[in-house]
């Protein structure tokens, strides 16, 4: 079981990350988004006109039961799936008419993903797993590894840099996944049950580290979770009702 994570604000500001001089448009804006799937001769409507705005530095909890369309919403917001109707704006850019190659580039530069299972590459160390997306983006190895070390140290993993995933606890693996998702300083972070595979105490530690990092970097975060206690610690809480996003108190 993980011990409490002591964090400190990472320095310097993540390269390409949100800053005081950046535009202030929403990192994510969904406008009238609809999605339906064919079910035999019928069309099953999953999203029926979703409107949602997530501002830079804001954390939003998406709390809804299984089968309500949470994953579909996250996939559309992350440009992994197309909507049938409506608009998706990422950092002010409309994605409706973008070709697949342009969508991929926009996603790579602006969106980070965290899943319930960490999906780390087992043959690489924690440092290498976090450096890899930066290398793909074009950073030098020295800069990528410096940034990876900074992020992992922030998350309490300074003593685990050279460890492979099999040598890490579940909570440590998920913290590496968090560092990897945020290493390229995306404008938007999407997370699908990021602590759902952890025991309650470890989940609390990891979630605390995640929210602290979100605030420190100024990234906008949309996080799907079943855990109401964790959701209560975020800036806003929303749910899906009859295919639409509804704000919760």
In a domain, 30, yes or no: no
Q: 51-68: b or e for each residue (b if 16 or more CB lie within 10 Å)?
A: ebbbbbbbbbbbbbeeeb
Element holding 59 (H helix, E strand)? strand 59-62
In a domain, 95, yes or no: no
Packing angle of the helix pair 200-217, 170-182 (nearest 10 deg): 20
φ, ψ dihedrals at 194, nearest 5° = -65, -20
Q: Dump pLDDT digits (tens) for 190-247.
A: 998 887 777 888 788 888 888 888 888 889 999 998 888 888 889 999 999 989 999 9
What is the extent of the structural domain holding 70?
55-82+109-247
Number of domains in the chain: 1
Measured distance CA(83)–CA(49) in Å, rounded? 10
Distances (CA, A) of 206 to 114, 126, 129, 169, 176: 12, 16, 18, 12, 10
Q: Dump pLDDT digits (tens) for 76-91.
A: 999 999 999 999 999 9
Measured distance CA(191)–CA(114) in Å, rounded? 5
Burial class (CB in 10 A: 0-12, 13-18, 19+), 97: exposed
In a domain, 200, yes or no: yes
pTM: 0.83
CATH code (residue 148): 3.40.50.300
Residue 187 confidence (pLDDT) above 70: yes
Neighbouring residues of 36: CB distance < 8 A, sequence distance ≥ 6: 43, 44, 45, 46, 84
Q: Dump pLDDT digits (tens) for 130-161.
A: 999 899 888 899 999 999 998 899 888 899 99
In a domain, 43, yes or no: no
In a domain, 78, yes or no: yes
């Amino acid at each position: 079981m993980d011990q409490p994570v002591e964090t400190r604000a990472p320095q310097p500001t993540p390269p390409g990350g949100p800053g005081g001089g950046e535009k202030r448009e929403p990192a994510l804006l969904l406008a009238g988004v609809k999605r339906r799937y064919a079910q035999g001769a019928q069309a099953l409507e999953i999203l029926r006109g979703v409107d949602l705005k997530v501002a830079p530095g804001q954390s939003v909890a998406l709390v809804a039961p299984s089968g309500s369309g949470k994953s579909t919403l996250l996939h559309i917001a992350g440009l992994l799936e197309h909507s049938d109707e409506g608009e998706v704006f990422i950092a002010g850019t409309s994605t409706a008419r973008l070709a697949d190659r342009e969508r991929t580039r926009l996603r790579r530069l602006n969106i980070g993903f965290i899943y319930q299972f960490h999906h780390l590459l087992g043959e690489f160390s924690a440092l290498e797993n976090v450096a890899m997306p930066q290398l793909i983006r074009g950073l030098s190895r020295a800069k990528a590894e410096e940034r990876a070390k900074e992020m992992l140290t922030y998350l309490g993993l300074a003593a685990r840099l050279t460890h492979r995933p099999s040598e890490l606890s579940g909570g440590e693996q998920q913290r590496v996944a968090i560092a990897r998702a945020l290493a390229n300083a995306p404008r938007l972070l999407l997370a699908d049950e990021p602590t759902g595979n952890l025991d309650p105490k470890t989940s609390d530690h990891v979630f605390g580290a995640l929210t602290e990092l979100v605030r420190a970097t100024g990234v906008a975060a949309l996080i799907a979770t079943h855990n109401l206690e964790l959701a209560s610690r975020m800036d806003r809480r929303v749910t899906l009702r009859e295919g639409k996003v509804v704000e919760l108190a």
